[in-house]
Amino acid sequence: MTPDQVKLVQQSFAKVAPISETAAVLFYDRLFEIAPQVRAMFPADMTEQRKKLMMTLAAVVNGLANLDSILPAASALAKRHVAYGAKAEHYPVVGSALLWTLEKGLGEAWTLELAEAWTAAYGTLSGFMIAEAYGRPQAAE
């Protein structure tokens, strides 16, 4: 990721944060629509899960300028996801749901440049997490 991409991701997330509950609902609704098989990995009541998602996203976005600061937590998260039944092939689906959510949440502010920045951020982090959890890097775009 370039410094400009980091800045774009951080600025855009600042616009999403005030609508975090709505964004989390959009994300999980989209995820379960495009990958219904993953629904069983989640609790019936998604309230806490949605909060965790947005807190994790905020921590990652805030740490993008200093990736080394967030990699230990990302590694631990990746390993926990294995225990929940997550597989490497789920990462691209999650990325797709995330980008879709951001596009819907940001509306006209969603540009090709912003999509590329978020794709780079997600690709960097998910590639690392896949390698940590499964021992092999895999493209996750």
Does a structural domain hold residue 141? no
Whole-angstrom distance, CA of residue 67 vs CA of residue 116 = 18
Q: Which H or E run includes 112?
A: helix 112-134
- pLDDT for 141 equals 45
* Containing structural domain, residue 44: 3-134
Does a structural domain hold residue 72? yes
- Structural domain tally of the chain? 1
Does a structural domain hold residue 49? yes
C-alpha separations of 7 from 115, 123, 136 in Å = 13, 16, 29
Does a structural domain hold residue 128? yes
Does a structural domain hold residue 140? no
Residue 24 maps to which CATH number?
Answer: 1.10.490.10
Does a structural domain hold residue 30? yes
Q: How would you write the pLDDT of the chain (141 residues) with one tens digit per residue?
A: 899 999 999 999 999 989 999 999 999 999 999 999 999 999 999 999 999 999 999 999 999 999 999 999 999 999 999 988 999 999 999 999 999 999 999 999 999 999 999 999 999 999 999 999 998 655 544
Q: Which H or E run includes 95?
A: helix 90-106
Does a structural domain hold residue 139? no
Does a structural domain hold residue 55? yes
